[in-house]
């Protein structure tokens, strides 16, 4: 019998041949000026098309969201055209790919933004830590709080980006509500201290995310929309006073909208009593993807115990384009080169060997 990880399962509109998901991984390999994916990006995803589903790198939804050079975007027609060969290559190789969409919010730096504008956020509260700029690491700037009209414009930016993802041939979109970016900044009361109907109660703080999700559903249908959340993420000073109440509300609302999946970053090392997955699984009946430091055995256990439907792997997919085959054969894994995670060209990006490359280098008599 095949392992639970290699069994097929439905995810929204799609039927996935296995439960091994490629986690979203920003690798900074796109054109520095126009933020279009370069040809190597097509090769990178095509190499990983045996994943049950590829979730693309976080892709910027507007010109106001600019990270270090090499990040990709999908807010203009040329970017849509440049993504088309990527989705086609994945489909031609038998794969499926969603696009993860995000806005940096307070984690941008003025020096990179048009007109050196201040980054925007729910409230004028800076992230804790430093951001890479052309002049080296700089403290995160104090952002500008968005007005209500401006919030509506950002919701619309996401909607247009979702439409672009569909035009570019993606099978769906993942709304990036995790890791301290703009949506996460709205969700959590450490970064959202608004006193209008986008701040205060959990209902109000979830409004921005849910309006974006509603826009995505209007564009592509609920079965092609997923949401990523990271309740345990706290590295840039983001925090919440009652994560159980917050994410329970989010799960309930996403259930009401019947989206394809909820993608929860909850490392296996989180103590069982602190895990949110069991609670969210009761409230959200669509597919649950778990991510965070999983290996083959812990992922298999999570699926066998019914804690998740799918498991996403990040660094293992960076280093092992054929991770699905390696798991099936219990083959040795390549290790990832961290120095090339966010910088470089083809090296450390599309040159990790496949099993067959390694085997063809061994003497036949061995
Ligand atoms: C190089 C790198 C880039 C990442 N980029 C993204 C991203 O674009 N969007 C996102 O949601 N998470 C991103 N992550 C987090 C991963 O999706 C994943 O949650 C994390 O690596 C933990 O999973 P792992 O232990 O299997 O690597 C990134 C992680 C790494 C190492």
- Segment 225-254 shows an average pLDDT of 97
Q: Whole-angstrom Cα distance, residue 327 to residue 191?
A: 40
Residues in contact with ligand 1 (CB, 6 Å cut-off)? 23-26, 57-58, 100, 176, 178-179, 228, 265, 291-294, 313-316, 341
List the domain range (segments joined by +) for residue 225: 4-360
* Mutational test site, ligand 1, from 314, 334, 335, 349, max ligand atoms within 8 Å of CB: 314
Share of the chain above pLDDT 70, in %: 98
Nearest CA to ligand 1 atom 6: 25
The Å distance, Cα 279 to ligand 1 centre, comes to 24
Residue 365 above 90 pLDDT? no
Q: Which residue of 24, 228, 317, 348 sits with most ligand 1 atoms within 8 Å of its CB, as the best mutation to test the pocket?
A: 24
- pLDDT value at residue 366: 38
Residue 366 lies in a domain: no
Residue 31 has pLDDT above 90, yes or no: yes
What is the pTM for the complete model shown? 0.97
Task: Tell me, yes or no, whether 15 lies in a domain.
Answer: yes
State yes or no: pLDDT of 296 exceeds 60.
yes
Is residue 83 within 8 A of residue 56, CB to CB? The reply is: no
List, for residues 137-174, the tens digit of each pLDDT value: 999 999 999 999 999 999 999 999 999 999 999 999 99
Residue 365 lies in a domain: no
Closest to 310 in 3D by CA, of 286, 346, 331: 286
What percent of the chain shows pLDDT beyond 90? 95
Domain-located, residue 91: yes
Q: How confident is the model at residue 358 (pLDDT cuts 50, 70, 90)?
A: confident
Q: Whose CA is nearest to atom 18 of ligand 1?
A: 314
Active site residues: 181
Q: What CATH number corresponds to the domain at position 343?
A: 3.20.20.70
Domain assignment present for 285: yes
pLDDT band for position 76 (cuts 50, 70, 90): very high
Residue 129 has pLDDT above 80, yes or no: yes
Candidate of 20, 21, 25 to mutate for ligand 1, largest count of ligand atoms within 8 Å of Cβ? 25
Nearest C-alpha to atom 22 of ligand 1 is from which residue?
A: 292
In a domain? residue 291: yes
Domain count, the chain: 1
In a domain, 47, yes or no: yes
């Amino acid at each position: 019998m095949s392992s639970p990880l290699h069994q097929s399962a439905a995810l929204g509109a799609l039927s996935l041949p296995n439960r091994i998901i490629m986690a979203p991984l920003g690798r900074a390999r796109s054109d520095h000026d126009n933020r279009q994916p370069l040809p190597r990006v097509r090769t990178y995803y095509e190499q990983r098309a045996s994943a049950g589903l590829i979730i693309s790198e976080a892709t910027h939804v507007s010109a106001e969201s600019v990270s270090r050079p090499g990040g990709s975007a999908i807010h203009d027609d040329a970017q849509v055209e440049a993504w088309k060969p990527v989705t086609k290559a994945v489909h031609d190789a038998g794969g499926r790919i969603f696009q993860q969409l995000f806005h940096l919010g307070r984690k941008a730096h003025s020096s990179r933004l048009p007109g050196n504008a201040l980054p925007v956020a729910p409230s004028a509260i800076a992230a804790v830590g430093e951001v890479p700029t052309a002049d080296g690491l700089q403290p995160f700037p104090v952002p500008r709080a968005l007005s209500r009209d401006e919030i509506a414009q950002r919701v619309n930016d996401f909607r247009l980006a979702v439409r672009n993802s569909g035009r570019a041939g993606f099978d769906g979109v993942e709304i990036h509500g995790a890791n301290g970016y703009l949506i996460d900044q709205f969700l959590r009361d450490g970064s959202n201290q608004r006193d209008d109907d986008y701040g205060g109660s959990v209902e109000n703080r979830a409004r921005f995310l849910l309006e974006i999700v509603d826009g995505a559903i209007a564009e592509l249908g609920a079965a092609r929309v997923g949401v990523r959340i990271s309740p345990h993420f706290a590295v840039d000073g983001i925090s919440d006073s009652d994560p159980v109440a917050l994410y329970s509300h989010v799960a309930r609302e996403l259930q009401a909208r019947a989206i394809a999946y909820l993608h929860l970053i909850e490392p296996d090392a989180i103590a069982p009593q602190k895990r949110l997955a069991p609670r969210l699984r009761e409230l959200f009946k669509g597919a649950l993807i778990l991510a965070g430091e999983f290996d083959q055995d812990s992922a298999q256990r999570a699926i066998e115990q019914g804690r998740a439907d799918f498991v996403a792997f990040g660094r293992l997919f960076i280093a092992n384009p054929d991770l699905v085959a390696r798991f099936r054969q219990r083959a040795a894994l390549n290790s990832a080169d961290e120095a090339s995670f966010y910088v470089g060209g083809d090296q450390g990006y599309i040159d990790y060997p496949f099993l067959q490359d390694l085997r063809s280098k061994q003497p036949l008599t061995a």
